[in-house]
Amino acid sequence: MPTPDPSLHATNDQLIAPPRTPARLSRRMTWHAIGWMVMVGGWALLARTQLDDILPGPGRTAQALDDLITHHQLLVALSLTMARAALGLLTAGVISVSWGFLNGRFPRFYWMTMPGLQLLMSTPGINFVIVAMVWFGTHSIVVIVVVTAVSLPLLTSATTQAFTAIDTDLVEMAQVFRLSRAKKIRHIIVPSLAPPILAALTLALGQSIRVSMMAELLAAASGIGADIRLAHINIETPDIFAYALVMTALTFSLEALLVAPLKRRMSAHPLASEAIGGQHS
């Protein structure tokens, strides 16, 4: 009797996206490494044709980075920028969850507040910086206000979509089987809310860091943005490139170490129907 072909039993997801086998991951990482080497090599070759004040090469940038770390200038500026970005993002998160819940629960409230959400979404970040400077002057609170204003529409749209997409059939089934409030939140509400909110958080995380730097560049006397402004005034271009590399690496690291594990954990969350079935099996 012939052995059945395992490929005939492949799921739709397997047909669309091949499984992430170790060999496939290794090939992907190899091509990633090749891409990085090509970019760094092109950067080094192009920098050889320019002065360091115009385009510093990788070696000169690494030296500038080492100097910034040695004198603790980078660590101090980085901690200030990250604290402001985190506070602004946290404020936007709290407001957006409340706003999104009200939008999902009360359609009239959603219709009424939609113009304000569209206004926030269509306003460039630099406008928020200027307005905040008019209100608060050159103060670190400007950075927090700007990060909050820029992140708020993205997170609010995601939370609104998440609350409106909750499966009402599952909620009714949980009520029929008299699941506790804690189990409903754990097995129905959280798995429904987490994917779109975490996807928006991924974008907002990198965006908040960039916006913080922009706001500091114009309205603060400390932080990465302020140091970049000072480096520009003193024509210290290698320092500018060093700061740019640090912030790029930081954004990638936060995504890989913080947001991506949360996404994987939520994608593996048990289904609400399984939880209900387990309660009454």
Compute φ and ψ for 203, nearest 5 degrees.
Answer: -70, -40
Burial state string for 159-171 with b = 16 or more CB within 10 A and e = fewer than 16: bbbbbeeeeeebb
136 class by beta-carbon count within 10 Å (0-12 exposed, 13-18 middle, 19+ buried): middle
Which among 15-19, 32-36, 167-171, 230-234 has the top mean pLDDT?
A: 230-234
Which of 128, 204, 125, 200 is closest to 160 using CA atoms? 200
The mean predicted confidence, pLDDT, of the chain is 80
The tokens describing 247, both together, are: 């912030």
Sequence-ordered list of residues with C-beta below 8 angstroms from that of 97, at least 6 positions apart, any chain: 155, 159
Q: What is the pTM of this model?
A: 0.74
Question: Which position has the token pair 């949360």?
Answer: 262
What pLDDT score was predicted for residue 42? 93
Contacts of range 226-229, beta carbons closer than 8 Å, 24 or more positions apart: 226/77, 227/73, 227/77
Distance CA 14, CA 166 (A): 26
Distance CA 67, CA 51 (A): 20
Distance CA 68, CA 63 (A): 9
Contact 213, 88 (CB under 8 A): no
Q: Which residue has the higher pLDDT, 191 or 133?
A: 133
Q: Quick count: other Cβ atoms within 10 Å of Cβ 188?
A: 22
Is the pLDDT score of 252 beyond 50? yes
Which among 245-249, 250-254, 266-270 has the top mean pLDDT?
A: 245-249
pLDDT band at 119 (very low <50, low <70, confident <90, very high): very high
pLDDT band at 268 (very low <50, low <70, confident <90, very high): low
Q: What angle do CA 41, 56, 229 make, to 5 degrees?
A: 135
pLDDT over 70 for what percent of the chain? 77
Distance CA 62, CA 242 (A): 7
Maximal CA-CA distance, the chain: 82
Contact 143, 89 (CB under 8 A): no
Is the pLDDT score of 11 beyond 60? no
Sequence-ordered list of residues with C-beta below 8 angstroms from that of 154, at least 6 positions apart, any chain: 121, 200, 203, 204, 207
Contact 146, 215 (CB under 8 A): yes
Distance CA 178, CA 187 (A): 13
Q: Which residue has the higher pLDDT, 218 or 278?
A: 218
